[in-house]
Amino acid sequence: MDDINVDYREMYLQMARTSEKVINLIIAAQKMCEDIYVKAEPLKVFSSYERKNKVN
């Protein structure tokens, strides 16, 4: 079997750095979606009776 020289420390550091970037990206996306939700106009919800009888 060939002796493979693997830099496990560098592999770990690369995984940790990339994982942190991904987590920060997900957090940023969540914050953006929360801002959209907070700024949105409330929707008018109609009951089935209101839809059937066109009551406002």
| Full-model pTM | 0.61
pLDDT at 51: 72
State the Cα–Cα distance between residues 6 and 27, nearest whole angstrom: 33
Tens of pLDDT, residue by residue over 6-56, are 999 999 999 999 999 999 999 999 999 999 999 998 888 878 877 777 765
pLDDT at 10: 96
Q: Would you state the torsion angle of the CA atoms of residues 49, 50, 51, 52, taken in this order, to the nearest 10 degrees?
A: 50
pLDDT at 56: 55
pLDDT at 8: 95
State the Cα–Cα distance between residues 41 and 32, nearest whole angstrom: 16
